[in-house]
Structure 1
């Protein structure tokens, strides 16, 4: 397997240095290796439009500020750190499950939009996607929190990639239940915590880790089916409103908090590590977590 962390340090520098009229095509070229990440979408995705819809950095405003943010990423050795974290995590996973199939992985790191209120507010300047096996993307603003968590966040998304790789859990966006989505986030955080301790918690979920009200609410929706429910049940009401889906009455990051609790209960009951539990069926994990005796 190969890990290809795209050189978006150079790519973003090129886009930001170009005349504004030329930036979209330069960005499209930089993003081209990620095209197959959107294979589950109907029709061909325009990568520049997807970039804009996914909190990507603006092409026609605040250019000096985005350039300064890029320098922060470069100073933090973001690309080198991410590549090293992914390689180390793959070795941990291979030891836990000998013979596991590890896909080739293409990794995209881009800056986000400092004018997007949801992205910079409830989302804390970070958006990660590792659900399409073979591809991982980060869109972030280089806050201290996000720079400190680069490795932990990369390993979280890697866990999603490996769970749904060939030989693992079958991914069906039409039929996937909220329970699988919640469990997958809990497993990804647990794997990240196995390597990086508390930094492995997804920050937006931390405030709700001990809330029984949040736990009971999210558990009540575990049987809801369809990927279209991911945003509302995992990211919460503010994200649902931002993306035009119906809120279900949960706070930001609730799904991560509940996923962590379910997975931790399962690991405690079975004695497994997070890496060993990579392919645990969601229904079985939830059953054991809710009835540990």
Structure 2
């Protein structure tokens, strides 16, 4: 097992310093080592276009803000911290679940787009993705709160990757439910909290709704929803759903994360398991116990 944190700092610096006409191909070269995360997409994927669609840093504007953001990431030692955190988290997870499958992992850390109002506002300057085995993508604007949580963010994404690498049947696109994603977000947060504490371990977008019983009840009402095009509203909230062409359901940003934390905490308390031990817990069982 090898974890490779790509040296995107050097690459991003080169991109931002290059003439605009040269930037797309430099960006393409930076993203190419992580192209495998699109292996299930139909047809050929343009990684530069996907970078833009995913709120990655722009290559045609905001150069000075991006240089400042990149300098802040570098000053925070983000790349090295992510590498250390992932190595330590894998050791903890293997001790708890010896048969966990740990793939070779490529980590792509990118600077987020400071001109993206949705990313910088409701999403609090952070997106991340680890839905494909062997890849973790963290796209971040270096708000101080995000820099403080860089290890926890990486470990959260690792938890997803190990869960679905070991048990790919948990995410069958034809049958997967909102409940699976809600539980998986709760488990990933619980694992990050096990390592870094409640303040740093919770995904920031879920904190505001954590104690809101009405939001919790609403999310619970949708746990059986299928059709992955519907998940954004139930998990990430209406603003994100609308951003990507989905239908709002009446939920604030991060509602599914908040509900997932509550369900998983109740499950862990009832079973006496740690978050690491619960990596492969069936979502239906977590929900059953969590609601009991």
The normalised TM-score by structure 1 is 0.97
Q: Which consecutive unaligned segments of at least 5 residues does structure 1 have?
A: none
Using a 3 Å threshold, how does the CA distance of structure 1 residues 167 and 211 change in structure 2: closer, same or farther? closer
Using a 3 Å threshold, how does the CA distance of structure 1 residues 169 and 264 change in structure 2: closer, same or farther? farther
**1:211: Cα distance to partner?**
0.9
- Please name the residue that 1:84 is paired with: 84
- Please name the residue that 2:260 is paired with: 259
**Alpha-carbon separation, structure 2, partners of 1:280 and 1:44:** 35
**Alpha-carbon separation, structure 2, partners of 1:31 and 1:23:** 12
Matches within 5 A, 1:26-175: 26-167=26-167, 169-175=169-175
**Alpha-carbon separation, structure 2, partners of 1:269 and 1:35:** 41
**1:221: Cα distance to partner?**
0.5
Answer with 84-93 or 31-40: which moved more: 31-40
**Alpha-carbon separation, structure 2, partners of 1:65 and 1:196:** 30
The answer to whether the 8 Å contact 2:100/2:166 transfers is no
RMSD: 1.0
- Please name the residue that 1:15 is paired with: 15
State the SS of the aligned residue for 1:231.
Answer: helix
Is 1:215 equivalent to 2:204 in the alignment?
no
**1:166: Cα distance to partner?**
3.4
- Please name the residue that 1:285 is paired with: 286
Using a 3 Å threshold, how does the CA distance of structure 1 residues 168 and 241 change in structure 2: closer, same or farther? closer
The answer to whether the 8 Å contact 2:167/2:280 transfers is no
**Alpha-carbon separation, structure 1, partners of 2:78 and 2:213:** 37
Instruction: Map Cα deviations across residues 123-153 of structure 1 (whole Å, 9 max, x no partner).
Output: 0000011121110001111110010000011
**1:68: Cα distance to partner?**
1.3
Instruction: Map Cα deviations across residues 138-194 of structure 1 (whole Å, 9 max, x no partner).
Output: 111111001000001100000000000134653222321000000000000000000
**Alpha-carbon separation, structure 2, partners of 1:120 and 1:132:** 25
Using a 3 Å threshold, how does the CA distance of structure 1 residues 237 and 167 change in structure 2: closer, same or farther? closer
* Count of aligned residue pairs for this structure pair: 291
State the SS of the aligned residue for 2:166.
Answer: coil
**Alpha-carbon separation, structure 1, partners of 2:97 and 2:164:** 14
Instruction: Map Cα deviations across residues 211-244 of structure 1 (whole Å, 9 max, x no partner).
Output: 1100110000011112222211111001111111
Matches within 5 A, 1:156-195: 156-167=156-167, 169-195=169-195
**Alpha-carbon separation, structure 2, partners of 1:21 and 1:66:** 17
**1:44: Cα distance to partner?**
1.9
The answer to whether the 8 Å contact 2:187/2:264 transfers is yes
Q: Which consecutive unaligned segments of at least 5 residues does structure 2 have?
A: none
- Please name the residue that 1:234 is paired with: 235
The answer to whether the 8 Å contact 2:241/2:247 transfers is yes
**1:99: Cα distance to partner?**
2.6
**Alpha-carbon separation, structure 2, partners of 1:193 and 1:47:** 33
**Alpha-carbon separation, structure 2, partners of 1:9 and 1:230:** 33
Which segments of structure 1 move beyond 4 Å, counting only runs of 4 or more? none
